[in-house]
Amino acid sequence: MQESGDASPEIAPPAMTGWQLRFFPIWTGQAFSLLGSRVAQFALIWWLTTLTGSATVLATATLVGLLPEILLGPIAGAYVDRWNRRTVMIVADGLIALASLALAYLFWIDAVQVWHIYVIMLIRSIGGSFHFPAMAASTSLMVPRRHLTRVAGLNQTLYGMLSIFGPPLGALAMQWLPFYSIMLVDVFTAMLAITPLLFVSIPQPQRQETGAARPSIWTDMRDGLRYLLGWRGMMIVIGAALIFKLAMTPAFSLLPLLVSDHFGGDAVQLSLLETVLGAGIVLGGLALGVWGGFKRRVYTMLFPLLISGLCVVVIGLTPATAFWLAVAAAFGIGLLMPPIDGTFMAILQGNVAPELQGRVFSLIGSLLTLSSPVGLALAGPVSDALGLQVWYIIGGVLTSAVAVALFFVPAVVNIEQGRSPAPASLSPGGEG
């Protein structure tokens, strides 16, 4: 494959410059869009809170946002592998912008009802179900393989900064702007994401069908699942990730109760804990972006996973008079999250066949998202029966034990050398 603008594909520096010029305008636009979405999401949740004061309403809003990713994800990923990925991102961002524009109009005429918010959150989540696999799959085709971990670190830094600055910016926006203007800000940032996509080309993997008729979408989904099941090391890591999510998701969700019931704190202590956690994510992402991780990427993921579990145990064992120790442990967890999540994504992007990435990424995302409500359902009864801190101890020990076990599994240690071949229904010579 020849690089556009290069006289010879063997000249490395122009190729390096080329990928940066193509990738980072898109990445920057998406960063602004995520910020606008975070501000809008914060405002909508607060609007629901002040209007209804109902935990059921808030839980329903969360569920509405999760269901499309769980149920629609695998199908969306299969279509992403069929369609032009740049077009998918443009349409997904445009759909989200139109939803926010419709909500802005409803706020402007003072006609918003709770069910309107549910519908808008559902539409936004559907757009995200297509956008995430399209962006993740495009990244692996635009960024050289050796830089994927660094880009993953930058992504983790971005998410950490959104966690720190998104809520305060949302609060400031509600003080300075009417709600319809906040929705229009989200529309504007979505346009910032769409604009570079109109001018920057994104490589598209070629796929050739072996038969006269194009395989059905269900066949594509089955190929993605078969590809994943044939990669033994990745299936073991996914199983470990499910355990990690089952243990860690409730730990973050239970922080408000831990602060109030165990440490006797209030919103100030809770905001401090969450801010320190976000700051750790930012620093961890920056460190990963600069360092790039170990040559064998799996170690960049396993060592932090082991230590993060110990940090969770520390939170569970911290006495009520030593809140500072819980803050320090939270900072450690935040610092270690980017190497775990970022490296996991970099391994996927660097090893999954480009023509399969949409459906594989979506399938994994659906599985991991499904583990969150399961973990929350388990954590409630366990915490009520044995005490809140017990969940942190159990979850932390379980996470560290899984990490230690993975060091002794050859299929995991050699995960990047043990990738399965492409399914028979796909062209083995397909390139992007």
CA distance 288 to 11: 27
Tally of CB atoms within 10 A around 7: 9
Contact predicate 283/333, CB 8 Å: no
Q: Evaluate whether the domain defined by 12-199 bears CATH number 3.30.499.10.
A: no
CA–CA distances in Å: residue 6 to residues 16, 199, 419? 11, 19, 31
Residues 6+ apart with CB under 8 A from 178: 107
pLDDT of 267:
62
Distance of CA 371 to the CA centre of its chain: 14
Using DSSP, state whether 146 is helix, strand or coil.
Answer: helix
Structural domain boundaries of the chain? 12-199, 219-413
Closest CA to 361 of 138, 170, 154, 96: 138
Q: Would the CATH topology of 12-199 be identical to that of 219-413?
A: yes
pLDDT of 432:
32
pLDDT of 143:
87
CA distance 202 to 337: 29
pLDDT of 207:
59
pLDDT of 55:
55
The amino acid sitting at 61 is: A
CA distance 114 to 30: 28
Tally of CB atoms within 10 A around 324: 10
Q: What is the DSSP letter of 11?
A: -
CA distance 332 to 125: 31
Closest CA to 15 of 26, 2, 31: 2
The CATH number, out of the four listed (3.40.50.300, 1.20.1250.20, 3.50.30.10, 3.30.9.90), of the domain defined by the range 219-413: 1.20.1250.20
Contact predicate 245/383, CB 8 Å: no
Using DSSP, state whether 4 is helix, strand or coil.
Answer: coil
What torsion do the CA atoms of 412, 417, 420, 422 make, to the nearest 10 degrees?
A: 140
pLDDT of 221:
82
Contact predicate 347/418, CB 8 Å: no
Residues 6+ apart with CB under 8 A from 428: 421, 422
Q: What is the mean pLDDT of each run of 10 residues along the chain (432 residues)?
A: 37 52 89 89 79 69 78 84 90 93 93 90 89 87 84 83 78 85 92 92 69 71 85 89 80 76 77 82 88 88 94 93 93 92 86 83 82 73 79 90 94 76 36 32
The amino acid sitting at 283 is: L
The amino acid sitting at 36 is: G
The amino acid sitting at 98 is: L
CA distance 245 to 388: 18
Give me 392's structure tokens. 């942190």
Q: What is the DSSP letter of 144?
A: -
Give me 31's structure tokens. 């960063």
- What angle is formed at CA 296 by the lines to CA 292 and CA 302, rounded to 5 degrees? 85
